[in-house]
Structure 1
């Protein structure tokens, strides 16, 4: 009798679960028509003989929907170069064991690109699935870059039943024009663009005012003032550099990075204790190793690349703490972890010579540039049981592709107006063939100079002007009489972009110019 009673109780509980899974199945699974009749027959009155079926159904359904709706953790670091992590550059002078562990357990994408080579550009594309040249990104200091009705990665996740949290650097603008003292709600930020919760900062930790934001409210307004700082031996935008401005009394620039990690761990630890089966999406946007380079005493002097290398080591350590929390909470196997950097490093050629460390990983240029180092990023996806461990792909990827990729994982169609430049890379991740015309083969970007555009098609890359188009000097080079007006490179033969073929292949130049204009004018590329 006791055993029967136990089964009766279990059956009633799983009957409730079965009804919920039946509802979910109708939304997410083509097996719904077969599963729903089973759910209706799972009644506590059927006792022991039906209890086993209830248990089996509940287990099957939980596995099915966990596979379709895994937890998602997106870790975006700031200004880390392709050549900094050891898993992308065996000659790196910086130890990155935790990033390397993600590569060991997942897939490296060796041909992944930021949609723009600056912080706000990159984040806009990641959040919206839309190329940032399609909007006026310069308004971010006072206005939101994302429109209120625009589908974002967060709002798409919410439509699929996710609980979403963002922690870290937003840099996509708030409505600030009439809120100079920050004593009123900050509208237009993460919680108004799809996230359930946000704790972070408005921009970088070298751009004032400096204060924490909890959802829409300044935790403490920036009523104090901090003076500008710079580091001897580095350029004006390297080292312990920050600008003068307002700062909140509770914010220490050196504490921001570990504080965000603490909050991410709190979010992960709270999730298994939730009273439902809602999956988690965590977007952790670290404002590092962007300036100011402020390694904690634990890491100061530990690398062979001065304070920059020390700070990268600290970032890697913080990532390791987050990965450790996932493992501790037994969430590792049911969580997709995406790791990447927003744009290239602030690392000049003389820095490479001085420290014998190539932050660009053999590519030309740096942050803001049209050249590869400005936008080719370290990119890793770990998805246990789906993405093969220690695998890699040279499939062309842009951050805009995350939206379409997750939509395919969640088995939902993107709305027609959502993710206009988003192409799913799920087949590459699963090492499966692409359907016809679904594979990304081209990529268009505007460099930091605002006028320089670039298009990638297969192995060919066209840059519309001479020079870097960004922070590398010279940014612009005047045309010489009879010389080329732009740059054309075959990246398969010349990944360092050393041999300009612009005048050798006028037919390819013309074709790429025409295709780029079409993509710009159409307002979409998918």
Structure 2
């Protein structure tokens, strides 16, 4: 009887979330790159950057204030989003092979099974068969179209990592035929500003046009899509990751030079895609999600210089085990199903996308898929759903685990870009860090030395999840 009651409840909720029986929503993921929790005005009223379109998303949808990337840098975060598996469980050698194993269920492959048209336009950063150096005259296998996408147009990695060229499906559009000299910007660190590395570049690749190019193509896809079926569009943007290259329209528009201008251009991209959905009269039943892959490259000196904290009140930045490295601005807009102007405190991670979408389109995940994916289906209806824990991987391999208000980090230091990134504890000294985020959201007070019982409990929970190979 209990099982039948739960099944009936799940079915009822599914019908409530699906505005018309049998009519699944279109799904769009807009995935910014190196954008902080404090950059979006809806999350940080003191932000010096105008983000009217993202603020509109918040006003018309739901704001998640406890959403996390599963990794504090690009490729682990993307892996977790697409597979529903924590990235620390996988071999992520993207330069030499595909990070996602052949046959593993992904968000697009699951949605494709449910009858969706699937497309990706943007940054991949999860490797191809054969790895680097690339053979431009051969098909690029093991990438998006071999992992669930019907169509792909994009780049192999970040726009500061050579070689610089576009790929359409499995084919290079224009093979690199010249060398682009390295560039840096005076007044910024070597990994900020208009920074890119020297390397080969294709004749159709221009740094200032990468974001506009992806925006145009994403809008075109919405207009030209197969209108006989729902679609999933994944748009992993190359911005505001370096190089900070806002087009002329946005240069000097922000109170935070270069970076803020580029964030404003990202916001404009969001506005253009929402306008395209509205023009097609499909906005009401399109689930749009906006977030960022990890925290920003934004130092304490930058906060002092410009009066802008890219991570708001959070400690740390990109790569870090601290909250600024992986707590992300996360917005959901779905007018027919999600209450406007709502806020969710449910703790989620990008790994949860797979299970959530599976619930929405009435698909059951097999045991060997989405091992760490837990649906936040009920949170979309405004309920404060509980997740037992989440685990994050820092850029230097630190693992942090969160349970309720408590957070444990298995090493000393930031584990990422913030100095010191690694501290070797002496004999008898703490070997990790412990914070209570309810009392100390900025992680200023390490309780490891005074909360021995809690430390052991968190260590045991982390070991349990590592050994089990899954949390679902």
Regarding TM over 0.5, the answer is yes
Q: 2:90 is matched with which residue?
A: 135
Structure 1: tracts of 5 or more residues without a match: 1-28, 32-60
> 1:387 Cα shift?
0.9
Q: How does 1:395-414 map to 2 (within 5 A)?
A: 395-414=346-365
Structure with the greater alpha carbon radius of gyration: 1
Pick one of 330, 339, 349 that aligns with 2:300: 349
TM-score, normalization by structure 2: 0.95
Deviates more, 1:171-180 or 1:285-294: 171-180
Pick one of 183, 190, 211 that aligns with 2:165: 211
Asked whether the equivalents of residues 42 and 54 of structure 2 are also in contact (C-alpha less than 8 Å), the reply is: yes
Q: 1:15 is matched with which residue?
A: none
Q: 1:160 is matched with which residue?
A: 114
Which whole-Å CA distance do the structure 1 matches of 2:132 and 2:426 have between them?
48
Which whole-Å CA distance do the structure 2 matches of 1:481 and 1:306 have between them?
46
In the TM superposition, what whole-angstrom CA distance separates every residue of 1:133-188 from its partner, at most 9, and x where no partner exists?
00121x10121000011000000000000000000000011113486331100000
> 1:319 Cα shift?
1.2
Classify 1:96/1:433 alpha carbon distance in 2 versus 1 (closer, same or farther; 3 Å): closer
Asked whether the equivalents of residues 166 and 198 of structure 1 are also in contact (C-alpha less than 8 Å), the reply is: yes
Pick one of 295, 313, 326 that aligns with 2:264: 313
In the TM superposition, what whole-angstrom CA distance separates every residue of 1:174-227 from its partner, at most 9, and x where no partner exists?
113486331100000000000000000000000000100000000011122101
Q: How many residues align?
A: 458
> 1:399 Cα shift?
0.1
In the TM superposition, what whole-angstrom CA distance separates every residue of 1:2-34 from its partner, at most 9, and x where no partner exists?
xxxxxxxxxxxxxxxxxxxxxxxxxxx979xxx
Which whole-Å CA distance do the structure 1 matches of 2:345 and 2:238 have between them?
28
- SS of the equivalent of 1:332 reads coil
Structure 1 runs of 4+ off > 6 angstroms?
none
Which whole-Å CA distance do the structure 2 matches of 1:424 and 1:275 have between them?
28
Which whole-Å CA distance do the structure 1 matches of 2:131 and 2:77 have between them?
24
Q: How does 1:423-442 map to 2 (within 5 A)?
A: 423-432=374-383, 439-442=386-389
- Does 2:63 align with 1:78? no
Q: How does 1:162-241 map to 2 (within 5 A)?
A: 162-177=116-131, 180-241=134-195
Q: 1:493 is matched with which residue?
A: 439
> 1:433 Cα shift?
6.7
Bigger relative contact order, structure 1 or 2, given CA contacts below 8 A and separation 6+?
Answer: 2
Deviates more, 1:114-123 or 1:177-186: 177-186
Which whole-Å CA distance do the structure 1 matches of 2:195 and 2:384 have between them?
47
Which whole-Å CA distance do the structure 2 matches of 1:516 and 1:468 have between them?
18
Q: 2:338 is matched with which residue?
A: 387
Q: 1:64 is matched with which residue?
A: 21
- Does 2:420 align with 1:469? no
Classify 1:275/1:517 alpha carbon distance in 2 versus 1 (closer, same or farther; 3 Å): closer
Which whole-Å CA distance do the structure 1 matches of 2:262 and 2:87 have between them?
29
Asked whether the equivalents of residues 396 and 441 of structure 1 are also in contact (C-alpha less than 8 Å), the reply is: no
Q: 1:302 is matched with which residue?
A: 253
Which whole-Å CA distance do the structure 2 matches of 1:427 and 1:490 have between them?
26
- Does 2:42 align with 1:87? yes
> 1:432 Cα shift?
3.7
Q: How does 1:276-295 map to 2 (within 5 A)?
A: 276=228, 278-295=229-246
Q: 1:449 is matched with which residue?
A: 396
In the TM superposition, what whole-angstrom CA distance separates every residue of 1:359-386 from its partner, at most 9, and x where no partner exists?
0111000000000000000001111121
Which whole-Å CA distance do the structure 2 matches of 1:360 and 1:91 have between them?
11
Pick one of 338, 344, 347 that aligns with 2:289: 338
- SS of the equivalent of 1:124 reads helix
Q: 2:205 is matched with which residue?
A: 251
Classify 1:62/1:358 alpha carbon distance in 2 versus 1 (closer, same or farther; 3 Å): closer
Which whole-Å CA distance do the structure 1 matches of 2:109 and 2:390 have between them?
25
Structure 2: tracts of 5 or more residues without a match: 1-9, 13-17
Which whole-Å CA distance do the structure 1 matches of 2:384 and 2:227 have between them?
39
In the TM superposition, what whole-angstrom CA distance separates every residue of 1:453-489 from its partner, at most 9, and x where no partner exists?
1110110000111110000000012224543221100
- SS of the equivalent of 2:67 reads strand
Classify 1:132/1:326 alpha carbon distance in 2 versus 1 (closer, same or farther; 3 Å): same
Which whole-Å CA distance do the structure 2 matches of 1:477 and 1:354 have between them?
28
Which whole-Å CA distance do the structure 2 matches of 1:187 and 1:480 have between them?
48
TM-score, normalization by structure 1: 0.85
Which whole-Å CA distance do the structure 2 matches of 1:484 and 1:433 have between them?
34
Which whole-Å CA distance do the structure 1 matches of 2:432 and 2:383 have between them?
37
